[in-house]
Amino acid sequence: MNRALTIAIDGPAASGKSTLGAALAERLGYTYFDSGVVYRALTWLALERGVDVRDEMELVRLAESARIEVVRPTAGDGRQYTVLVDGQDATWSLRTPAVDHNVSVVAAHPGVRRAMTEWLRQIAGGGAMVMVGRDIGTVVLPGADLKVYLTATGEERARRRYREQLERSLQAEYDQILAEMRRRDELDSGRAIAPLRPAPDAIILDSDHLTVDEEIDQVLQHLALSEVATR
Protein backbone atom coordinates (compact mmCIF):
# COMPACT_ATOMS: atom_id res chain seq x y z
CA MET A 1 0.00 0.00 0.00
CA ASN A 2 1.22 3.51 -0.81
CA ARG A 3 -0.43 5.11 2.23
CA ALA A 4 -1.33 4.14 5.78
CA LEU A 5 -4.90 2.86 5.69
CA THR A 6 -7.53 2.19 8.31
CA ILE A 7 -9.39 -1.12 7.93
CA ALA A 8 -12.59 -1.95 9.83
CA ILE A 9 -13.68 -5.56 10.31
CA ASP A 10 -17.09 -6.25 11.86
CA GLY A 11 -19.19 -9.34 12.42
CA PRO A 12 -20.94 -11.47 15.03
CA ALA A 13 -19.26 -13.40 17.85
CA ALA A 14 -16.85 -16.17 16.78
CA SER A 15 -17.13 -15.31 13.09
CA GLY A 16 -13.33 -15.24 12.87
CA LYS A 17 -12.83 -11.45 13.04
CA SER A 18 -9.88 -11.64 15.44
CA THR A 19 -8.09 -14.31 13.43
CA LEU A 20 -8.53 -12.43 10.16
CA GLY A 21 -7.72 -9.05 11.71
CA ALA A 22 -4.49 -10.24 13.35
CA ALA A 23 -3.31 -12.10 10.24
CA LEU A 24 -4.14 -9.18 7.94
CA ALA A 25 -2.39 -6.68 10.21
CA GLU A 26 0.71 -8.88 10.26
CA ARG A 27 0.68 -9.18 6.47
CA LEU A 28 0.42 -5.39 6.05
CA GLY A 29 2.70 -4.45 8.94
CA TYR A 30 -0.21 -2.67 10.62
CA THR A 31 -1.40 -2.48 14.21
CA TYR A 32 -4.20 -4.90 15.12
CA PHE A 33 -6.81 -3.94 17.69
CA ASP A 34 -9.87 -5.88 18.86
CA SER A 35 -12.39 -3.30 20.08
CA GLY A 36 -14.42 -5.98 21.85
CA VAL A 37 -11.60 -6.29 24.37
CA VAL A 38 -12.51 -2.99 26.02
CA TYR A 39 -16.15 -4.01 26.47
CA ARG A 40 -15.12 -7.41 27.78
CA ALA A 41 -12.63 -5.81 30.16
CA LEU A 42 -15.29 -3.47 31.52
CA THR A 43 -17.73 -6.36 31.90
CA TRP A 44 -15.17 -8.48 33.74
CA LEU A 45 -14.29 -5.59 36.04
CA ALA A 46 -17.96 -4.92 36.78
CA LEU A 47 -18.54 -8.57 37.69
CA GLU A 48 -15.41 -8.61 39.84
CA ARG A 49 -16.53 -5.52 41.75
CA GLY A 50 -20.17 -6.48 42.03
CA VAL A 51 -21.44 -3.69 39.79
CA ASP A 52 -24.87 -4.42 38.27
CA VAL A 53 -24.38 -4.78 34.50
CA ARG A 54 -27.78 -3.08 34.04
CA ASP A 55 -26.68 0.05 35.93
CA GLU A 56 -25.53 2.36 33.16
CA MET A 57 -24.37 5.23 35.37
CA GLU A 58 -22.18 2.97 37.51
CA LEU A 59 -20.73 1.32 34.42
CA VAL A 60 -19.87 4.68 32.86
CA ARG A 61 -18.16 5.75 36.10
CA LEU A 62 -16.25 2.48 36.10
CA ALA A 63 -15.25 2.97 32.45
CA GLU A 64 -13.98 6.48 33.17
CA SER A 65 -11.93 5.42 36.19
CA ALA A 66 -10.57 2.05 35.03
CA ARG A 67 -7.16 1.70 33.38
CA ILE A 68 -7.50 -0.75 30.49
CA GLU A 69 -4.32 -1.47 28.52
CA VAL A 70 -3.89 -3.73 25.51
CA VAL A 71 -0.23 -4.59 24.91
CA ARG A 72 1.85 -7.11 23.00
CA PRO A 73 1.63 -10.71 24.31
CA THR A 74 3.43 -11.18 27.63
CA ALA A 75 3.05 -14.98 27.71
CA GLY A 76 3.41 -17.74 25.15
CA ASP A 77 0.00 -19.30 25.77
CA GLY A 78 -1.61 -18.58 22.41
CA ARG A 79 -2.84 -15.09 23.25
CA GLN A 80 -2.83 -12.42 20.52
CA TYR A 81 -2.27 -9.65 23.06
CA THR A 82 -2.25 -9.10 26.82
CA VAL A 83 -5.07 -7.18 28.49
CA LEU A 84 -4.23 -5.39 31.72
CA VAL A 85 -7.09 -4.06 33.83
CA ASP A 86 -5.81 -1.74 36.53
CA GLY A 87 -2.47 -3.51 36.18
CA GLN A 88 -3.86 -7.05 36.47
CA ASP A 89 -3.49 -9.54 33.61
CA ALA A 90 -7.10 -10.39 32.75
CA THR A 91 -6.50 -11.71 29.22
CA TRP A 92 -8.10 -15.14 29.52
CA SER A 93 -10.60 -14.07 32.19
CA LEU A 94 -12.29 -12.02 29.48
CA ARG A 95 -13.29 -15.21 27.63
CA THR A 96 -15.19 -16.91 30.45
CA PRO A 97 -18.89 -17.86 30.08
CA ALA A 98 -19.84 -15.21 32.67
CA VAL A 99 -18.30 -12.45 30.55
CA ASP A 100 -19.81 -13.96 27.37
CA HIS A 101 -23.23 -13.87 29.00
CA ASN A 102 -23.05 -10.25 30.16
CA VAL A 103 -20.90 -8.35 27.66
CA SER A 104 -23.75 -7.61 25.23
CA VAL A 105 -25.79 -6.11 28.08
CA VAL A 106 -22.89 -3.85 29.07
CA ALA A 107 -22.15 -2.86 25.47
CA ALA A 108 -25.79 -1.91 24.83
CA HIS A 109 -25.69 1.04 27.24
CA PRO A 110 -25.46 4.32 25.24
CA GLY A 111 -23.21 5.97 27.85
CA VAL A 112 -20.78 3.07 27.79
CA ARG A 113 -20.65 3.06 24.00
CA ARG A 114 -20.04 6.82 23.84
CA ALA A 115 -17.12 6.55 26.24
CA MET A 116 -15.58 3.59 24.42
CA THR A 117 -16.18 4.96 20.92
CA GLU A 118 -14.22 8.14 21.61
CA TRP A 119 -11.34 6.10 23.03
CA LEU A 120 -11.32 3.75 20.02
CA ARG A 121 -11.25 6.66 17.57
CA GLN A 122 -8.19 8.08 19.30
CA ILE A 123 -6.45 4.70 19.04
CA ALA A 124 -7.11 4.48 15.29
CA GLY A 125 -6.33 8.12 14.56
CA GLY A 126 -2.86 7.53 13.16
CA GLY A 127 -3.89 5.04 10.47
CA ALA A 128 -2.04 1.81 9.61
CA MET A 129 -4.67 0.08 11.77
CA VAL A 130 -6.85 -3.00 11.49
CA MET A 131 -9.66 -2.67 14.04
CA VAL A 132 -12.27 -5.35 14.58
CA GLY A 133 -15.59 -5.25 16.40
CA ARG A 134 -19.33 -4.98 15.83
CA ASP A 135 -19.80 -1.31 14.89
CA ILE A 136 -16.39 -0.21 13.64
CA GLY A 137 -17.40 0.42 10.03
CA THR A 138 -20.81 1.83 10.90
CA VAL A 139 -20.11 4.00 13.98
CA VAL A 140 -16.54 4.05 15.30
CA LEU A 141 -14.70 4.53 11.97
CA PRO A 142 -17.33 5.31 9.33
CA GLY A 143 -14.59 6.86 7.18
CA ALA A 144 -12.39 3.75 7.21
CA ASP A 145 -10.57 3.10 3.94
CA LEU A 146 -11.94 -0.43 3.76
CA LYS A 147 -14.80 -2.08 5.63
CA VAL A 148 -15.24 -5.84 5.92
CA TYR A 149 -18.20 -7.71 7.40
CA LEU A 150 -17.24 -11.28 8.29
CA THR A 151 -20.05 -13.70 8.97
CA ALA A 152 -20.69 -17.44 9.53
CA THR A 153 -23.62 -19.61 10.56
CA GLY A 154 -24.53 -19.77 14.25
CA GLU A 155 -23.73 -23.48 14.29
CA GLU A 156 -20.24 -23.00 12.91
CA ARG A 157 -19.52 -20.15 15.30
CA ALA A 158 -20.74 -22.22 18.25
CA ARG A 159 -18.45 -25.11 17.18
CA ARG A 160 -15.48 -22.72 17.13
CA ARG A 161 -16.22 -21.36 20.59
CA TYR A 162 -16.79 -24.93 21.88
CA ARG A 163 -13.39 -26.06 20.58
CA GLU A 164 -11.73 -22.94 21.99
CA GLN A 165 -13.07 -23.61 25.49
CA LEU A 166 -12.08 -27.28 25.39
CA GLU A 167 -8.55 -26.33 24.32
CA ARG A 168 -8.34 -24.12 27.41
CA SER A 169 -9.58 -27.00 29.63
CA LEU A 170 -12.88 -25.25 30.37
CA GLN A 171 -16.17 -27.08 30.74
CA ALA A 172 -18.21 -26.62 27.59
CA GLU A 173 -21.54 -27.78 26.20
CA TYR A 174 -22.19 -27.18 22.52
CA ASP A 175 -25.97 -26.73 22.83
CA GLN A 176 -25.55 -24.19 25.61
CA ILE A 177 -22.94 -22.26 23.63
CA LEU A 178 -25.19 -22.23 20.55
CA ALA A 179 -28.13 -20.91 22.58
CA GLU A 180 -25.91 -18.22 24.11
CA MET A 181 -24.58 -17.32 20.64
CA ARG A 182 -28.13 -16.82 19.34
CA ARG A 183 -29.06 -14.75 22.38
CA ARG A 184 -26.04 -12.48 21.86
CA ASP A 185 -26.80 -12.12 18.15
CA GLU A 186 -30.32 -10.96 19.01
CA LEU A 187 -29.07 -8.49 21.61
CA ASP A 188 -26.30 -7.12 19.38
CA SER A 189 -28.52 -6.78 16.31
CA GLY A 190 -31.54 -5.41 18.17
CA ARG A 191 -29.98 -2.75 20.37
CA ALA A 192 -31.01 0.85 19.69
CA ILE A 193 -27.45 2.21 19.76
CA ALA A 194 -24.92 0.97 17.17
CA PRO A 195 -26.64 -2.30 16.26
CA LEU A 196 -24.63 -5.08 14.64
CA ARG A 197 -25.05 -4.77 10.86
CA PRO A 198 -22.84 -4.44 7.79
CA ALA A 199 -21.91 -0.94 6.67
CA PRO A 200 -23.54 -0.16 3.29
CA ASP A 201 -20.12 -0.09 1.62
CA ALA A 202 -18.64 -3.13 3.40
CA ILE A 203 -17.47 -6.23 1.58
CA ILE A 204 -19.20 -9.34 2.92
CA LEU A 205 -17.14 -12.48 3.55
CA ASP A 206 -18.65 -15.80 4.64
CA SER A 207 -16.02 -17.54 6.79
CA ASP A 208 -17.93 -20.84 6.69
CA HIS A 209 -16.45 -21.51 3.27
CA LEU A 210 -13.15 -19.62 3.29
CA THR A 211 -9.76 -20.26 4.85
CA VAL A 212 -8.01 -17.36 6.56
CA ASP A 213 -5.56 -17.12 3.64
CA GLU A 214 -8.48 -16.92 1.20
CA GLU A 215 -10.10 -14.20 3.31
CA ILE A 216 -6.86 -12.21 3.31
CA ASP A 217 -6.50 -12.62 -0.46
CA GLN A 218 -9.98 -11.21 -1.00
CA VAL A 219 -9.32 -8.26 1.31
CA LEU A 220 -6.01 -7.49 -0.40
CA GLN A 221 -7.71 -7.60 -3.80
CA HIS A 222 -10.23 -5.01 -2.62
CA LEU A 223 -7.42 -2.89 -1.16
CA ALA A 224 -5.56 -2.99 -4.47
CA LEU A 225 -8.70 -1.88 -6.32
CA SER A 226 -9.21 0.92 -3.78
CA GLU A 227 -5.64 2.10 -4.32
CA VAL A 228 -6.13 2.21 -8.10
CA ALA A 229 -9.41 4.10 -7.69
CA THR A 230 -7.81 6.83 -5.55
CA ARG A 231 -4.84 7.52 -7.85
pLDDT at 193: 84
Alpha helices in the chain (DSSP H): 17-28, 36-49, 56-65, 97-107, 110-124, 154-167, 174-190, 212-230
Query: Which residues does the annotation place in the binding site for ATP?
Result: 11-19
Query: Which residues does the annotation place in the binding site?
Result: 11-19
Write down the mean pLDDT value for the chain: 91
Average pLDDT on 71-87 reads 88
This prediction has a pTM of 0.81
Overall size of the chain counted in residues = 231
pLDDT at 3: 77
pLDDT level of residue 70 (50, 70, 90 thresholds) = confident
pLDDT level of residue 2 (50, 70, 90 thresholds) = low
How is 185-230 classified by DSSP, letter by letter?
A: HHHHHH-SSS-S---TTPEEEETTS--HHHHHHHHHHHHHHHHHHH
**Percent of the chain residues topping a pLDDT of 70:** 97
The Cα–Cα gap between 158 and 161 comes to: 5
Walk me through the domains of the chain, giving residue ranges and CATH numbers. 6-209 (3.40.50.300)
pLDDT 10s digits, 38-49? 999 999 999 999
